[in-house]
Structure 1
Amino acid sequence: MATLCRPAVSVPEHIITVAQTLDLARTLHADHPQLALALRLIENTGVRKRHLVQPIEETLRHPGLRARNLRYESEAKARVPEVVRRALDHAELRPADIGLIVYVSCTGFMMPSLTAWMINTMGFRSDTRQMPIAQLGCAAGGAAINRAHDFCTAYPGANALVVSCEFCSLCYQPTDIGIGSLLSNGLFGDAVAAVALRGTGGTGMSLERNGSHLVPDTEDWIAYSVRETGFHFLLDKRVPGTMEPLAPALKELAAQHGWDAGQLDFYVVHAGGPRILDDLCRFLDVPPEAFRFSRATLTEYGNIASAVVLDAFGRFFDEGSAVDSARGLIAGFGPGITAEISLGSWVTDTAPAPVRTFLSPVTAGLPAVAVLDEECPAV
C-alpha cells in the first residue's frame, strides 16, 4: 500500500484581508441591489485573509485571457519547483525515484502540461508518466491522490508525486456581479502544494481504499463558462447543501472497508465553505473539531481549490497527534457534483532508508528495481 507523506505548501506574498475585501466590495459595487447580502455572505465564510500572486491593484485589472494565461505559466514555473523539492525531501525521495506525476489545476491552461517542463528541468526520468487533471476543480486534490494511489497499486514499489497549482485570482472577472460571483471574489485564494506517495516505507497515511461519487444532474451547479475574457465561474445557490447527498457516499465507502465514517480518528476534507463543514459534522455525527485542519486552511488561506486537502493534511502532520494505526479519511468535493474519497491508516517509518525503490513503467510487472542511495554511508 502506498503511503501519503508530508505535503509541502506555499502561498504567494501578496495578502488581502477580509476587511479589505469588504471595503473593495462596497467601493466597486456601491449600487448593487444585493450588496448587503453579498457582504454578509463574505463575512460568513470565515476567511480572514487570502494570498494572491499579484498585488490587488493588478488583480482587479483584466489585461485579457492571453496575458493572464502567460502570467499563470510564469508564476507556475517560478513557484512549483521549490514546493516539489520540499515534498520530495519530506518523503526522502529524489525526482528520479518518481514514476508518475499527477498535476492538477483549474485556473490556467498549458499544453504540454507543466509536467513536461518539470521532467525536462527538474531531474525526473524521461519515462515518468504524466497525468494532468484540469477539469475537476476543487475535487481534483482528492482525485489526484486517488489516481496516484491507483498507480502505486498497479506497480508495487513505485512512487508518485501530486502537484496542485491554483491561482484563483487570475480568474477574477470584473463584469461578473451575480451574488455567486461576488461571494467567490471573497472566498478563493492562491496556493501551490505538492505531496509524494511512497510505494514502500515512509511516514504518513497508508492508503487502503479510494472511491468516487457523482451526484446525478448537478453538472451546472459548479461550472466554468469559457468566453473571450477567460474562465467565468458559475456557482449555484444549491452548492452549500451538497453534503446531504455526498455524506452517504462517504459512509458507504467506509462501510465497504468495515469502518464507520463517524468513528474515524482524523478527517481531511475540502473546505469549500463553513456550511460544507458544518453539514458534514451533522451528517457524519462528528464534533466540529474533527474538521479543524480544513477550517484552519479556510480561515488562513481561503478556498485554495484542489490544494485545500493537501494543506489540511499538512496541518494534521504539523499537529503531531497521529498515532500508528489511526484511521482516517480524505475527501475532495467539486464540480459534477463530485466527491473523491480516500481511506487509510497512519504508519510511522522508523527505519533508515538506505535503499530507494521504484518501478519504471518499462519494467511493469517485474520486481521493483533497487537503487542505492549514494548519500547513505551505510550502503
Structure 2
Amino acid sequence: MTRIAAVHGTLAPHRYDQSAITDMVARRCLPRGADRHALDRLHRAATVRARHLTLPLDEYEALDGFGAANDVFVRTATDMGAKAVREALRLAGLTPADVDLLVFTSVTGIAAPSVDARVAGRLGLRPDVRRVPMFGLGCAGGAAGLSRVHDYLLGRPDQVAVLLSVELCSLTFQRDDPSPANLVATGLFGDGAAAVVVRGSARPGDTPGPTIVDTRSRLYPGTGRILGWEIGDSGFQVVLDPGIPDVVRRHLADDVRGFLDGHGLKPKDVSAWVCHPGGPQILDAVGEALDLPDAALDVSRRHLAEVGNLSSSSVLHLLRDTLADRRPPGGTPGLLLAMGPGFACELVLLRW
C-alpha cells in the first residue's frame, strides 16, 4: 500500500469577509440600480464567512478579459504551487531530487508549458521527473489525483510522487453576469493550493500518515450538463445546476456502500470522513444519503465557513486538517471523497 507522507495547504494572500466580497460582486455583476436582495440571500445561504482571493478586491473590477485573468493564473499558480510543494517535501523529510512523479490538477486556468513544468523548473526537480497535468476534473480533482498517484506507485513502489492542486476560482468570476449560477459561484468559491507527498510501499522512510488502501471512480450517465464550464470570450462561465444534491442522494449511497463492502466495511466503521465541501446543500445530501452522524462532516463544514470551496484543493486541505486536528485511531479506516464535472464521484479508502 502507498503511504501519505505529508500534506501542505496554502491560501491566496488577500482575505475578505463575505460581506465585502458580496459588495464587490454587486458592483461587478448586477445591472446598475438592480435589487441585490437575491444576491445577498444566495451569499448568506453559502454559509461562508470569509475567503482568500488572488487579487485585492478593487482589482477584480479592472480585470479585463480572459487573457488578463489567465495571465494572473499562470503567474500566481506557479508561485503558490512551488511554495506548497516545497513545504510538503520539507514536512516529508525529502528534497526535490527525490520526486519521481509530479501530478498537477486545476480547473481554473490553462498554461503551456503547464504549471507543473514551471514548478519543476522553479524547485529544481530532476530532468527525468514524470509529469501528469490534469484539467477538467473540477472539485473531484484532488481525490482523483490521489487515486492516480496511488495507481502509479503500485507499479513503482520504490518511488515518490507529489500531487499538486492549485485553484484560483476568483479569476473565473464573470463580470456583468447576473445569472443565478454565477451569483452562487461568486458566494462560494475561494483561492488556494495544496500539495501531497506520497511514498510507495517499498520506499524507505518513517512517515506517520495513512495508507491508501483502494480507490474507485464513478461517472453517472446523463448528468454531463449539470456541472462544469461553458468556455466563451470572457473565459470560464460556470454551469451549476440546482439539481446536483438530488443526484448525490440518488447515487452516492450505493457507490460508497459497495466500495466499502468490498473491504468488509460499512459506513459506521469509517472513523474519518474527508468530504469535499461542495456547499451546504451538497454536504446535507451526503450526510442524508449515508445516514451519517451530525458531527461526521464537521471538518468539512468548518472549512467551508472559514475559506469557502477551493475546488480540487479543498479535500486536500481537509486531509491535512484531519491529520493535524482529528487524527483517527491507528488501524481504523477513513474515506476521502469528492464530486465534480462528469457528473462524477471519486472515492479513496484510507487506513490510519
Scaled by the length of structure 2, the TM-score of the pair is 0.93
| In 2, Cα distance between equivalents of 1:339 and 1:77 | 28
Q: Which amino acid aligns with 2:212?
A: L
**1:18-52 CA distance string (max 9 Å, x none):** 2223334555537557x434322221211100000
1:49-83 CA distance string (max 9 Å, x none): 00001011112333122211111111122222221
Tell me the secondary structure at the aligned position of residue 273 of structure 2: strand
Rounded to whole Å, the distance in 2 between the matches of 1:158 and 1:6 is 15
- What's the counterpart of residue 156 of structure 1? 157
Contact 1:255–1:261 (CA<8 Å) still a contact in 2?
no
Q: Structure 1: how far apart are the matches of 2:5 and 2:62?
A: 39
- Answer yes or no: is the 8 Å Cα contact 1:25–1:39 preserved in 2: no
**Residues 131-167 of structure 1, C-alpha deviation per residue, up to 9 Å, x if partnerless?**
1111111110110000001011111121110001111
Cα displacement (A) at 1:117? 1.9
- Please state how far the C-alpha of 1:241 moved relative to its aligned partner: 2.6
Question: Map of 1:348-363 to 2, 5 A cutoff?
Answer: none
SS in 2 for 1:336: coil
Counterpart CA distance in 1 for 2:145 and 2:116 is 14
Query: Residue 62 of structure 1 contacts residue 174 of structure 1 at CA under 8 Å; is this kept in 2?
Result: no
> Is the 2:82–2:122 contact (alpha carbons within 8 Å) kept by the matching residues of 1?
no
Corresponding residue to 1:231 among 236, 244, 250: 236
Is the CA contact (8 Å cut-off) linking 1:240 and 1:273 kept in structure 2? no
Q: Gaps spanning 5+ residues in structure 1: where?
A: 347-379
SS in 2 for 1:242: helix
SS of aligned partner of 1:109: coil
Aligned counterparts of 1:338 and 1:262: Cα–Cα separation in 2: 24
Aligned ranges 1:1-379 → 2 under 5 Å: 1-27=1-27, 29=30, 31-32=33-34, 35-199=36-200, 200=203, 201=205, 202-244=207-249, 245-346=251-352
Larger CA deviation: 128-137 vs 231-240:
231-240
| TM value normalised by structure 1 | 0.87
1:356 is aligned to none
RMSD: 1.7
Match of 1:372 in 2: none
**Unmatched segments (≥5 aa) in structure 2:** none
Q: Which structure has the greater CA radius of gyration? A: 1
Deviation by residue 1:331-378 (Cα, 9 ceiling, x = unmatched): 1111011111100201xxxxxxxxxxxxxxxxxxxxxxxxxxxxxxxx
Q: Relative to structure 2, which stretch is displaced further, 220-229 or 313-322?
A: 313-322
Asked if the contact 1:65/1:229 (under 8 Å) is kept, the reply is: yes
State whether residues 207 and 342 of structure 1, in contact with CA within 8 Å, keep that contact through their aligned partners in structure 2.
yes
Q: CA 1:32–1:335 in structure 2 vs 1: closer, same or farther (change >3 Å)?
A: farther
Distance 2:52 2:38 in 1: 24
Q: How many residues align?
A: 345
